[in-house]
Amino acid sequence: MSDVAARLVDYYEREMADRATRPLADEREQRLTAFVEHLLTEGLGSVVEVGRGAGRDGVRIAASGVAYSGVDLTPAAVDLCRRLGLDAYVGSATDLPFADDSFDAGWTMSTLTHLPGDEMVTALAELRRVVRAGGVLEVGVWGAETSGEWTDDGGRYFRSRTDEELRELLGAVGEVGEVVAFDTWTHFTDGGHYQWARVVVS
């Protein structure tokens, strides 16, 4: 495990119990509701979540009747999710423990932003590998008006990209697919904001 990954695990192992009690932000709540509605409307019957955290999104997805599996780097997150009755695995976004074409959809929020170097490219290729052609991916990360990277006081590494850079990655890496929706919110004075996209897999 890399030093970046080890620091993430250490941070989230300590924080996971508190994170489980936090409500979802309004925009995240709206996107999650719309995602579940899209799954049901389009007949997409299975979802993989990468970076499942305390299971707040996973519980909602599974409750809709969609077959749900999730991966997280942090054992405490996986233990918590299993206690909630969710199908959960310890694993990395860059090496998903699933066979090709295992799912109809993928969901990952605020996870791929922690990947250094070209690891986001690898993670997107992995999502493309495990989600069937014609399926949908919804991705959320922290972005900025200019690209950058930093480590916060808790030891977590962050990598931000511009909106244009993220759209290019989502549309081109491993022939992922077509970006059919893109939005941003929570804009800060330093140019930071949250980026969300829906991609139809090629």
Instruction: Tell me what the pLDDT averaged over the chain comes to.
Output: 92
Average pLDDT over residues 81-104: 97
In the chain, the number of structural domains is 1
State how far the Cα of 51 lies from the Cα of 127, in Å rounded to an integer: 12
**What tokens appear for 99 in the block?**
């066979």
Q: Is the pLDDT of residue 174 over 60?
A: no
Give me the pLDDT at residue 149, please: 94
Burial class (CB in 10 A: 0-12, 13-18, 19+), 115: buried
**DSSP per residue over 88-130, as a string?**
EEE-BTTB-SS-TT-EEEEEEESSGGG--TTHHHHHHHHHHHH
CATH number for position 27: 3.40.50.150
Residue reference for tokens 């200019």: 146
Average pLDDT over residues 132-148: 94
Question: Which residue range is the domain that position 97 belongs to?
Answer: 3-201
Average pLDDT over residues 23-28: 85
**Residue 166 half-sphere exposure, CB side, CA atoms within 13 Å?**
29
Average pLDDT over residues 38-65: 96
Average pLDDT over residues 152-161: 94
State how far the Cα of 99 lies from the Cα of 25, in Å rounded to an integer: 33
Give me the pLDDT at residue 23, please: 82
Q: Is the pLDDT of residue 188 over 80?
A: no
Please name the residue ranges forming H helices in the chain: 3-19, 26-42, 56-63, 75-83, 119-130, 163-172
State how far the Cα of 70 lies from the Cα of 122, in Å rounded to an integer: 18
pTM for the full predicted model? 0.94
Q: Is the pLDDT of residue 20 over 90?
A: no
Instruction: Give the three-class secondary structure for 29.
Output: helix
